[in-house]
């Protein structure tokens, strides 16, 4: 039996900005361990503005790759493979990020995240089937609502 649909509500913009500011401070502090198991700071340069952006992101690390997902329009800055800097578990790491916007690819990234971080489904409006697996229709629905995947290939080994 499928789980009831997950309601996804967008928090007010002012609240999101305040939460992101707190996360940026926390993830750069000695207390990063409270959040850094599932949240990192992703830094990138705007492709048109040249401005430096740093945003907190939920993530999953799979080998030497970090995968994330967003609906925010800034993902377009990562098209074509872009150098990024991350604060990952308290360490500064670099890599190349690639936005995955095609439906199949974005759905695959989202399913990868959900396999390793099942609670993430509440943030993206995905339900699970009777066996606890992400419901394919709600995964595709999240992608069709604008959710894209982000893959970062980490530089060096750690």
pLDDT tens for 46-63 read: 998 999 999 899 999 999
| pLDDT the model gives residue 23 | 64
Mean pLDDT of 83-92: 92
Question: Distance of alpha carbon 83 from its chain centroid, rounded?
Answer: 16
CATH number corresponding to 13-154: 2.30.110.10
| pLDDT the model gives residue 39 | 87
pLDDT at 148 over 60: yes
- What is the chain's mean pLDDT, rounded? 85
- Report pLDDT digits (tens) over 4-13: 444 455 556 6
**pTM here?**
0.80
Looking at per-residue pLDDT, the higher value among 139 and 28 belongs to: 139
Looking at per-residue pLDDT, the higher value among 124 and 28 belongs to: 124
Q: In angstroms, rounded to a whole number, what is the distance separating the alpha carbons of residues 27 and 87?
A: 7
Two tokens, residue 24: 């940026």
Two tokens, residue 66: 């970090």
Mean pLDDT of 80-98: 93
- Which of 63, 75, 74, 64 is CA-nearest to residue 105? 75
Burial of 141 per CB tally in 10 Å (0-12, 13-18, 19+): middle
| pLDDT the model gives residue 129 | 85
- Which of 74, 70, 72 is CA-nearest to residue 43? 74
| pLDDT the model gives residue 101 | 96
| pLDDT the model gives residue 1 | 43
Mean pLDDT of 6-24: 62
């Amino acid at each position: 039996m499928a789980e009831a649909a997950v309601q996804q509500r967008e928090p007010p913009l002012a609240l999101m900005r305040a939460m992101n500011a707190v996360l940026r401070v926390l993830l750069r502090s000695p207390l990063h361990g409270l959040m850094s198991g599932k949240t990192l700071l992703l830094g990138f340069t705007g492709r048109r503005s040249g401005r430096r952006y740093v945003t907190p992101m939920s993530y999953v690390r799979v080998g030497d790759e970090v995968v994330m997902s967003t609906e925010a329009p800034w993902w377009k800055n990562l098209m074509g493979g872009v150098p990024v800097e991350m604060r990952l578990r308290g360490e500064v790491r670099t890599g190349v990020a690639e936005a995955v916007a095609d439906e199949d690819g974005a759905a695959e990234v989202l399913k990868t995240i959900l396999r390793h971080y099942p609670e993430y489904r509440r943030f993206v409006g995905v339900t699970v089937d009777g066996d606890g697996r992400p419901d394919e229709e709600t995964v595709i629905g999240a992608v069709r609502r604008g959710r894209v995947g982000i893959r970062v290939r980490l530089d060096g080994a750690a």
